[in-house]
Amino acid sequence: MTGQRRVLVVEDDITIAESVAVRLRAEGFVVSVAHDGPSGVALAAAFLPDLVVLDVMLPGFDGLEVCRRIQASRSVPVLMLTARGDETDLLVGLAVGADDYLTKPFSMRELAARVHVLLRRVSRAVASQALELGDLVIDLAARRVSRSGVEAHLTPTEYDLLVFLAERPSAVQARERLLAEACGWHEGASSRTVDSHVKALRRKLGADLIRTVHGVGYALEVPR
């Protein structure tokens, strides 16, 4: 997962584009460059970047349109480049789905710093190593669970069940769903299996953690 990050640069000014690309490659990124809107959109689909650096002023159609189209297919952080003082473009850009922007002229150090921040942010969201809900901490990598700093020893099924609930905090999950997702699907009559595991989780992590919804199923409550 810590494979090299891919950055797409869409910028018509060849000098700027090259400077940016060189700097980002020096930072360890895999960089691809497009010089107009259409090829930017195409490359976004083909190159599958983790981040897009995007100029607002582009031949073809403008950066805002590119931003819109890229965001339409999948969620990628976008860093926009604008001309100084062009505050309207800026605001529209942020509205359209850009996550950050820089005004020209900008220093390469600043660009690199912002790129790092944006990527750290998504990696925090996507690959989050730990799941924290109040005083409940689930270390996904280590498969460890603790509450208020006290570690609890969970069996595999209990752990899977807890993670499934924790990924959807306070959302009610039906018994059958839990049985199918957390425990392996067992053809035949759905049973009281889930209850047993919920009981175990409550015993080990506190009774207030999992809420029973009568007639439906269970939900994990975020502890205060």
Binding DNA (rule: CB under 7 A), the pick from 23, 35, 199, 204 is: 199
Candidates 23-31, 59-67, 120-128, 198-206; binding stretch for its own copies (CB under 8 A): 120-128
Site for its own copies in 25-64 (CB under 8 A): none
Q: Does 107 bind DNA (CB under 7 A)?
A: no
Nearest to 45 by CA among 87, 73, 13, 10: 73
Binding its own copies (rule: CB under 8 A), the pick from 25, 121, 192, 203 is: 121
Q: 143 or 192: whose CB is closer to its own copies? A: 143
131 vs 145: CA distance, rounded Å: 9
Report which DSSP code applies to 59: S
Task: Write down the H helix ranges in the chain.
Answer: 14-26, 37-47, 63-73, 87-96, 108-126, 156-166, 175-181, 193-205
* Residue for token pair 């003082």: 85
Summarize as ranges the residues that interact with its own copies (CB under 8 A).
75, 87, 90-91, 94, 98-100, 107, 109-110, 113-114, 116-117, 121, 125, 128, 132, 139, 141-144, 155-156, 168, 170-172, 213-216, 219
